[in-house]
Structure formats: structure tokens, C-alpha cells
Amino acid sequence: MPKQNPNSEALPLTEQQNPASLSLDQLDLTQAVELMHQQDYQVLEAVNQAKPAITATIQRLVNSLNHGGRLFYTGAGTSGRLGVLDASECPPTFRTPPELIQGVIAGGTRALYQAVEGAEDHPEAAVEDLKERQLNRNDMVIGIAASGSTPYVRESLRYAHSLGCQTALLACTPVSQDDPAIDEYMILPVGPEIVTGSTRLKAGTATKMVLNMITTLAMVQMGKVYGNLMVDLNISNAKLVKRAQRMLQQLTGITDPEACTHLLRAAQGEVKTAVLMQRAQLDYTQATDLLQANGGQLRRALAQTTELNP
């Protein structure tokens, strides 16, 4: 029976040995699957503990976006790739411009496909990468680092703070929370990985869950969702055309698919605008002006038309 490294507990959680998996290579496949499954339950509890910090981070992000700012995720390896993934999903889901939410990974684009050894150990590169993107005081930077100490990530937060940006750190191990460059600490103590140090596992899963929360709920606050419908989606393929038609049928009462298609064309493919045009009997310009006057909030714009035309 393998023994746990006696110095393991002195290491960050992300580097400690997991006592439950010391005999992982000796388990049969059924046992190994069950072990991984049971370990993943720790992810939910870790995210649960971080809810107040996640909420505060989203509030800061919405404030930044409302003042013309952008969101930058910074990270290395798996953490960086998850940031890029989350950022890349926002334009099709919420019709955001690609520059609004960006993932910045140590080592650049090549690091998305293969490891760029040592990239995370060059803090000066983080400053260069953010300068290249013209980071400014209205923006927010969220650093993602399973260990909480990645030099590239920590330097990105220090540089952002020096410009007056909102900042947050997402880590999967407890870290000292006394860095004046960090406004919010989202700590996700998922525990040691089933394969020691492989943070693409529980740490990666927890990180993905939190990034989903951050952008999704920020976009809800920004009026990109009505009820639970993505009424600001970018209609870029046949599947999304059908989704847009279903939303229009539900929100306007139109039953004829051809009529939905005609309305969407008149609204230049914008579902929120189409809904407002039909329900308030407005033309495209009037509908977009009303949405803009109401901060892009369809519910608020519809309420205003009701007040004007009781």
C-alpha cells in the first residue's frame, strides 16, 4: 500500500497527495470511475463556500461594464484556456462584441493548443499582454490560478490595480488575502486532485463552473436575458435561427414561422428588437432607441410602452 508523502500537507492543496487515490493504479476501472465521481462532489461544496465572493465579483464586473469597461481573464495552462473558452462563448450567446470579454493566456495563442513551458513564470509578459490590449481604469481583470500564486497572473492583477481597474483572483487553494492589488478573492478549496497536481481535474471543473456564473449572471444583469431566454443571441447558424423563432413565438404569440422570419429580418436579426417591434408596434429605429434608453433591458422597455399606451 503506497504511503502519502509526509510533507504533503505543507504544500498548497493543488499540490498535495490525495489519500483517497494513493492506490489509483491498482484499482479496477469500475472502482476508479466511482472514486473520481465521488471526488467531484467536493467541487460543488467548494463553489458553495465561495458564493459571497462570486456575487461581489459579478457586482464589480457589472459596474465596470456599465461604465464602458471590459473584462479580461488572465491565466496560464488550464486556467488560461478556461478563461479563453468562457470569453469566446459570450459573443454567440449574448451578442457581445469580441473585445468586451477577453481571455489572455500566458504564452499566447500557441498555449491554447500545446504547453508553452515556463510562460507562467514571466510576470513581465502579463503587463505586455495587457498593454497590447490597452487596458484602462474602466476595465476589470480576473486572474485565474489554481495555486493562487502564478507569477503571470499575480502581476496582471498588480498592473491592473495600478491603473485603477477592478480586480479579482480565482484560486483553488487558500491563499493570503492581504494583497492590496486584489479586490475580491474567490477561493475554491476542492482538495487534492486524484492525480497529484493535475489541476485540469477538480480545480478545472470548479473554475469552469464559476466562470459560467460570472459571465452568465453579469449578462443577465446587463439585459441579455429575458426570463431564462437568451434574447440577445447572435443568430449564426440554422439551429440558432430555429431557437430565435421559438423565442419570438413564445414572446409575441406569433404562430406562423414565416411571419417570425419576416419579423426577424425587419429587426436585423435582433430578437429583443423584434419582440419590442411586434408588441409595441414600433419600427426598427423606434425599438432600438427605446431599448437603448432602457439600458438594453427588454422587460423595462416593454413596461415603458405599457405606461405610454395603457
- Residue that finishes a domain, picked among 168, 193, 221: 221
Considering the domain boundaries, does residue 145 fall inside one?
yes
Other Cβ atoms less than 10 A from the Cβ of 82: the count is: 25
The model's pLDDT over 220-271, given as tens digits with 9 standing for 90+, comes to: 999 999 999 999 998 989 999 999 999 999 999 999 989 999 999 999 999 9
Which residues are marked as active site?
89, 120
CATH number for the domain harbouring residue 193: 3.40.50.10490
The verdict on 133 and 176 lying in the same domain is yes
| Span 32-74, pLDDT tens digits | 999 999 999 999 999 999 999 999 999 999 999 999 999 999 9
Cα distances from 299 to residues 124, 145, 224, 279, in angstroms, run 45, 38, 11, 12
Is residue 28 included in any domain, yes or no?
A: no
Asked whether residue 148 is domain-assigned, the answer is: yes
Return d(Cα 89, Cα 152) in angstroms, integer.
24
60 falls within a domain: yes
Assess whether 253 and 217 both reside in one domain.
no
Integer angstrom CA distances of residue 113 from 34, 108, 109: 30, 10, 8
Prediction pTM value: 0.91
pLDDT mean across residues, the chain:
93
Number of domains in the chain: 2
Q: What is the pLDDT of residue 9?
A: 64
Entry field: residues in the chain: 310
Which of 176, 191, 221 terminates a domain? The answer is 221
Residue 270 C-beta-side C-alpha neighbours within 13 Å: 19
User: Is there a single domain that holds both residue 181 and residue 244?
Assistant: no
Are residues 211 and 67 located together in one domain of the fold? yes
Q: 90-141 pLDDT, tens per residue? A: 999 999 999 999 999 999 888 888 877 788 889 999 999 999 999 999 999 9
The domain of 272 spans: 238-308
- Which pLDDT score, from 0 to 100, does residue 113 have? 87
Same domain, 191 and 278: no
